[in-house]
A and B are shown apart, each in its own frame.
Chain A
Amino acid sequence: MRIALALLLLSSALAAQGDTLVLRGARVFTGQGDFQKGLVVIVKDGKIAAIGRDIPVPQGAKEVDCKDKWITPGFVDAMTALGLTSMNENEESNEVTPQVRAINAIDPEAQNFKRAVAGGVTTAYIMPGQMNVFGGLGVVYKTAGKSRVVREDAGVRMTLGQMPGSGNRSFRGFGGSPTSIYYRRPNNRMGTIWEVRRAFYDAMDVRETNLGPQLEPTAAQRVLISALDRKMKVRTTARHGQDIRTALRLAEEFGIAVILDDATEAYKTLDYVVAAGVPVVAGPPSVQAGFDGSTPHLDTLALLARAGVEVAISTAQRPDALPLVREAGFAVRGGMDRAAALAAVTSVPAKILGVDARVGSLDKGKDADIVLWSRHPLSPYSRAVRVWVDGVPVTKPSR
């Protein structure tokens, strides 16, 4: 019995020792600035225990040879449909479903998580689709590991433009039947805005009249009220120039905290975006056909970044997007600074998602989500050699 106990203690002690990793010899990008030589990263118990030059290395720690390799924090993709059936996954029985939660439909074993990990993405924001005016709540989710949820209900999706109306029908002659649940508003861009304003005004009514238990806010209204109170960020999909301006106008009208999603034609409305001071989660710059008939430009990201807008690069749920690291490369091709492009897939999206205390940068105490690259990650020849999530390797080691 005593021997068994001793063995147990010994083995658990060994496991704890095994948990301590020392990554030495690589050039390290911490989430800001440029790659630095000579930095050592020490990982313990799933967290970054220390990072710096000439720091003491605990005895018995496992050395990982990172010579001639490049280290970045695990990438953060701030707009995805990973684990959902498609980018159009919505509860379509109603246009206004802000209370519906993407987390209820995620398949944690989905193949696209594995592809994301292989491309160095360790954290993703997963949100419902674009077929509803208010699509629902998104979740910040790790792409691998044991404990996947980072932050529940991190934002509510609002979609402007034509997509929410595209599934609806109007007159009988146009394919609509009055008994169908799709025989409803909106049917166009203006109707979408009308739905947004009606939903917010209804929520304000309930909040302000406060008539007691008979008129309790619905689950949907509770989400909208927390958006009106600026406790919940409103992830606003706006692609066309006029949609971006609409988003900013609605933000001002209702005092809501908007994050612009996709923002394909932000180059047309740059002054307004800068003046509003809202963050942007841009769509993939490699994709040359904008959604909803919008016109993308390769230099949009560079323009936004140079104008001082807080901008993240995302795959925007698009199945035709390249791996996030390649999209960052396209942003550089469009004129974005290399360091800014790397920050736009690590520390900036983490900050926009409100999870920068845990992921997106390599600092003491943060989650040990680390990618070891074969070359400078923005090189088209680069490959994620190893990926750790919470200090645990989640890919097979390769050359």
Chain B
Amino acid sequence: MVSRRIAFGLVVGGALALLAQSATAQNAAPNGLLIRAGKAWVAPGQALVRASLLVKNGKIVDAVARPTNDAKETFLDQADSVRDFGKNAVLTAGFVDVHTHAGSDGELAEPVESFTPELRASRAYDAWASAWKRITARGVTSAVLAPDDRNLAGGIAAFVDPGLAAGSDADNYFKMSLTGAALNRERRPTSLMGAADYLRERATELQNLAPAKMTPAQRALAAVIGGGQSVGIACSTVREIHAALDATTTYQLRTFLIHADEAEECLARIVGAKVPVVLRPLGLQSSRKQLRLPGVLQKAGVAFAFAGENDQDSGLPGLQTSLAIAVRQGITAADALASVTTRPAQIAGQSERVGTLFTGRDADILVWSGEPWDLRSRLLAVIRNGTILHENKQ
């Protein structure tokens, strides 16, 4: 990441780009940062006690528990700075928000036409938006900026490091919506039946059409039919969930559901379809039904993740709230932690980079004053790609 960033800075050389980089360049550890804490959750349910993590070039180079004196020596040789957060500190991987519209100011839909699969959220991504600072301060080190729910086929979501310019590989899942927000009374479709019909019409157009003759919109749609690029389908009610799963079967899509508020009422169908679900964040205003849903899904074996959605500034620390409330509702800590780290990373197809603290992963590390699912715990530091983005006094 760092080398790419430097290359990016050199090649583009734009004044703005340089401005964005300069803040991070000051803190960048050129040759090894050793992080020590009482415990590290390298993956959900997998703890290292008295952990030492060695970070180099934005990646995790090594992570060990109770290092021997020899290991300590080796580590110190490689690190030119050491941060010891004390025996109470707990490390987790940075949170991954797999469905957010933050910092986009309502820009993430072209609602005059509901079928815009070629639009790319990365083009609406404003790395300098103040929202990203707030969001990273709450522990989100990777985010997928998604087209919002107002279009049947909204476009292609962008996987970004919040606050950094989008990479050339930012394009992520294909976003669709079958919610009421996509049914506009002034253009097609006005109804769920019409949405299915519109999709069928566009899919039919692709038959017997050579790839060279396709428009960008047709290419984007062709990339998902038959199970290529994954598809996130926003749906809320039972009929919308059924419609999403019907489309999944008809076009052999690699689907995950977004919201799925009434998933409990059609659980068997979701279990049968083996699709993951990205839930709305849990908060103090969540209904009983919303609070119950993660437990219901866990029991049925449906993989779920929490998303930050609009990340309204409610004064609560974002995904940590969902994590804590999920644990309070009886979800195991490991499962709850997975729902904000490994699972969203999997859904975004980025497990090799983020979501865990294994060797070779991006050094996206959260330093907590206690267990992250305890709302009393504070973030002591947020580290992304080996750079300390935010730090709070102990």
Which residues of A does B touch, CB under 8 Å? 83, 85, 89-94, 97, 99-102, 104-110, 128, 136, 180-181, 219
Within the assembled complex, what's the spacing in Å between the Cα atoms of A97 and B195? 12
Within the assembled complex, what's the spacing in Å between the Cα atoms of A105 and B197? 11
Collect the chain B residues with CB atoms within 8 Å of residue A90's CB: 190-191, 193
B80: CB under 8 A from chain A? no
12 contacting pairs across A/B (C-beta < 8 A) = A89-B193, A91-B188, A91-B190, A91-B194, A100-B194, A101-B197, A104-B246, A105-B243, A108-B238, A108-B242, A109-B238, A109-B265
Contact A101 B196 (CB under 8 A): yes
Beyond A109-B265, A219-B201, A219-B204, is A104–B188 a contact (Cβ under 8 Å)?
Answer: no
Contact A105 B238 (CB under 8 A): no
Collect the chain A residues with CB atoms within 8 Å of residue B188's CB: 91, 93-94, 181
B266: CB under 8 A from chain A? yes
B70 CB to closest chain A CB, in angstroms?
A: 52
B289: CB under 8 A from chain A? no
A391 CB to closest chain B CB, in angstroms?
A: 20
Contact A91 B237 (CB under 8 A): no
Residue on B nearest A93 in the bound complex, by CB: B188
Which residues of B does A touch, CB under 8 Å? 185-197, 200-201, 204, 237-239, 242-243, 246, 265-266
Within the assembled complex, what's the spacing in Å between the Cα atoms of A181 and B191? 14
Contact A91 B193 (CB under 8 A): yes
Residue on A nearest B188 in the bound complex, by CB: A93
Contact B187 A104 (CB under 8 A): no
Contact B242 A92 (CB under 8 A): no
Within the assembled complex, what's the spacing in Å between the Cα atoms of A92 and B186? 9
Contact B189 A91 (CB under 8 A): yes
Within the assembled complex, what's the spacing in Å between the Cα atoms of A89 and B191? 7
Contact A97 B197 (CB under 8 A): yes
Residue on A nearest B266 in the bound complex, by CB: A109
Question: Taking chain A's interface residues, is the majority helix, strand, or loop, or is none over half, making it mixed?
Answer: loop
Contact B187 A106 (CB under 8 A): no
Within the assembled complex, what's the spacing in Å between the Cα atoms of A128 and B266? 23
Collect the chain B residues with CB atoms within 8 Å of residue A85's CB: 239
Q: Which of B185, B186, B196, B266 contacts A108 (CB 8 A)?
A: B266
Collect the chain B residues with CB atoms within 8 Å of residue A83's CB: 239
Contact A99 B197 (CB under 8 A): yes
Q: Which 3 A-B pairs have the closest CB atoms?
A: A91-B194, A104-B196, A93-B188
Contact B193 A101 (CB under 8 A): yes
B264 CB to closest chain A CB, in angstroms?
A: 10
Within the assembled complex, what's the spacing in Å between the Cα atoms of A98 and B238? 25
Collect the chain A residues with CB atoms within 8 Å of residue B201's CB: 219
Residue on A nearest B180 in the bound complex, by CB: A85
Q: Which of B204, B239, B265 contacts A105 (CB 8 A)?
A: B239
Within the assembled complex, what's the spacing in Å between the Cα atoms of A101 and B195? 10
Beyond A105-B243, A107-B237, A180-B186, is A219–B191 a contact (Cβ under 8 Å)?
Answer: no
Within the assembled complex, what's the spacing in Å between the Cα atoms of A99 and B189? 13
B123 CB to closest chain A CB, in angstroms?
A: 27
Collect the chain A residues with CB atoms within 8 Å of residue B187's CB: 93, 181
Beyond A91-B197, A219-B200, is A107–B242 a contact (Cβ under 8 Å)?
Answer: yes
Within the assembled complex, what's the spacing in Å between the Cα atoms of A110 and B238? 8
Residue on A nearest B197 in the bound complex, by CB: A100
Contact A100 B204 (CB under 8 A): no
Collect the chain B residues with CB atoms within 8 Å of residue A100's CB: 191, 193-194, 196-197
Collect the chain B residues with CB atoms within 8 Å of residue A110's CB: 238-239
Within the assembled complex, what's the spacing in Å between the Cα atoms of A83 and B191? 14
Collect the chain A residues with CB atoms within 8 Å of residue B189's CB: 91, 93
Within the assembled complex, what's the spacing in Å between the Cα atoms of A94 and B197? 12
B150 CB to closest chain A CB, in angstroms?
A: 15
Collect the chain B residues with CB atoms within 8 Å of residue A109's CB: 238, 265-266
Collect the chain B residues with CB atoms within 8 Å of residue A104's CB: 192-193, 195-197, 243, 246
Within the assembled complex, what's the spacing in Å between the Cα atoms of A259 and B185? 31
Contact A106 B197 (CB under 8 A): no
Within the assembled complex, what's the spacing in Å between the Cα atoms of A180 and B187? 8
A227 CB to closest chain B CB, in angstroms?
A: 17
Residue on B nearest A89 in the bound complex, by CB: B191
Collect the chain A residues with CB atoms within 8 Å of residue B185's CB: 92
Most buried by A among B185, B192, B200: B192
Collect the chain A residues with CB atoms within 8 Å of residue B204's CB: 219
B268 CB to closest chain A CB, in angstroms?
A: 10
Collect the chain A residues with CB atoms within 8 Å of residue B266's CB: 108-109
Collect the chain B residues with CB atoms within 8 Å of residue A97's CB: 194, 197
Beyond A97-B197, A104-B246, A219-B197, is A92–B239 a contact (Cβ under 8 Å)?
Answer: no
Within the assembled complex, what's the spacing in Å between the Cα atoms of A179 and B193? 24
A375 CB to closest chain B CB, in angstroms?
A: 34
Collect the chain A residues with CB atoms within 8 Å of residue B265's CB: 109
Within the assembled complex, what's the spacing in Å between the Cα atoms of A136 and B194? 10
Collect the chain B residues with CB atoms within 8 Å of residue A106's CB: 239, 242
Q: Which of B190, B192, B242 contacts A93 (CB 8 A)?
A: B190
Collect the chain B residues with CB atoms within 8 Å of residue A101's CB: 193, 196-197
Residue on B nearest A94 in the bound complex, by CB: B188
Within the assembled complex, what's the spacing in Å between the Cα atoms of A108 and B245? 13
B115 CB to closest chain A CB, in angstroms?
A: 12
Within the assembled complex, what's the spacing in Å between the Cα atoms of A124 and B185? 29
Within the assembled complex, what's the spacing in Å between the Cα atoms of A90 and B194? 8
Within the assembled complex, what's the spacing in Å between the Cα atoms of A136 and B190? 14
Within the assembled complex, what's the spacing in Å between the Cα atoms of A107 and B239? 4
A84 CB to closest chain B CB, in angstroms?
A: 8
Beyond A83-B239, A97-B197, A104-B197, is A92–B190 a contact (Cβ under 8 Å)?
Answer: yes
Collect the chain B residues with CB atoms within 8 Å of residue A181's CB: 186-188
